[in-house]
Amino acid sequence: MGVLDGKVAVVTGGAGLLGTEYSRLLAKYGAKVLINDTNPDAADKLVKEITKAGGTASAFIGGVESWEKAGRIIDACVQKYGRIDCLVNSAHKTAAKPIWELSEEELDVSLNIHLKGHFACAHHASKHMVKQKSGSIVTVSSRALTGHPGLSPYAAVKGGIVSATFSWALELAAHGVRVNCINPAAVRPKEGEPEVKHMQWHWDFRLDRMSWYAPVPGPKSVAPLIVYLVSDASKWVTGQVIFLSGDTLAIMRHPKEEKFAFMPNGWSFEDIERYFKETIGATLEKPGMGAGQYAWYEGVR
C-alpha cells in the first residue's frame, strides 16, 4: 500500500525537468497521475514508463496560460479519475535577458505560463477540492525570487506565486484544502558525471558569471517533498514555502516588517537622511540567491 493510494494528482509541466520526477514519484507512491505538458512525445513516453512500472498515469497535452486551457486540464482529470486531490503547478517557460533587452512579448510568456497559469489551474482545481472538503495544492516558486540577474521576469512571477500561496492557504483552510509552495534548485546532471548531493549556498553571483549553476543537485532530490506535501502525513502544513535540493531541506521565512525605528512626531526627510543608515540601514541585505554581506554602503557602483 502506498501513502498516496486512492489519491489523484495533476502535474502541470509534468514531463519537464522537475515535473517528470514529480510524476514518477507520485505514481510510485500510489497516486493516479494526470501528466499535463505541451510536449506529447515526452508525456506519452513518461506515461508508458509509469504504467510499465505498475503505476497509473495518463497524459493531457495543452498549455496552462489561460483560464479556458487550465479548465480543460482539470476537467480531463475529473472525467477520467472521478476527482482531483492534488495539483502540482510545475509548468515552466521564461526569457533569460537583462531588463534593458527584454521585450513585452517575452515578459508576457513568464506572466502567462507561470503566474496566470498558477492562478488558472488553482482556480479550477480548488472548485472541486472545496466541494470535496479536501485537497492539496503545491505551487512551485524558486530562490530566484530573491533576485537573479538576467532573469527578472522569472524572479518576479516566482515572487508573485509565493504571495498567492499565502493568500490561497488562508482562503482554503476552512474548506480542508492545503496550499504550500516549494522552492526547488536542480540542474540536469551531465552524462557520466556523479550525482551531486550537497547544495552550496554562496556563489560569485554576477551577470557575467553564473557560477551557481555548478554544482547543483539533480531533480530527483526534490521530488520527495512533493509526495510529502500532497500526502496526509502533512495534513497540518499549509501556507509554507519550503526548499529542498540534495542534502538540504529549509523553510523560507514569511516576509514581514522588522528592524523598526520610531520617531514620535513622524519622520521628515531630514530625519530619514540623518538616522536611516544607523538604524534600519545598518542591516541592509544584498539581493540574490545565497548573497553575502550587503555590498553597496558606499554606492551601487
Q: What is the pLDDT of residue 291?
A: 61
Cell of 221: 532530490
DSSP 241-298: EEEEETTEEEEPPPP---S----TT---HHHHHHHTTTTGGGG-B--STT--B---TT
Which pTM value belongs to this model? 0.90
Alpha helical stretches, state H, 94-231:
104-110, 117-132, 152-172, 223-230
User: Which residue in the list 29, 81, 154, 228 is annotated as catalytic?
Assistant: 154
Contact yes or no for 223/22 (Cβ under 8 A): yes
Q: What is the pLDDT of residue 217?
A: 75
Predicted confidence pLDDT, tens digits, the chain (301 residues): 699 999 999 999 999 999 999 999 999 999 999 999 999 999 999 999 999 999 999 999 999 999 999 999 999 999 999 999 999 999 988 888 999 999 999 999 999 999 999 999 999 999 999 999 999 999 999 988 888 888 899 999 999 999 999 999 999 999 999 999 999 887 777 777 777 777 766 555 454 545 555 577 778 989 999 999 999 999 999 999 999 888 888 899 888 888 899 999 999 999 999 999 999 999 888 787 666 666 666 765 5
Contact yes or no for 58/48 (Cβ under 8 A): no
Q: What is the pLDDT of residue 214?
A: 58
Provide the residue ranges of all domains of the chain, joining segments of one domain with +: 8-251, 258-301
Cα–Cα dist 135/9, whole Å: 10
Q: For residue 197, how many other CB atoms are within 10 A of its CB? A: 13
Q: What is the pLDDT of residue 201?
A: 62
Cα–Cα dist 20/222, whole Å: 11
Q: What is the pLDDT of residue 207?
A: 46
- What CATH number labels 8-251? 3.40.50.720
Q: Is 213 a catalytic residue?
A: no
Coil, helix or strand at residue 91: coil
Q: What is the pLDDT of residue 146?
A: 85
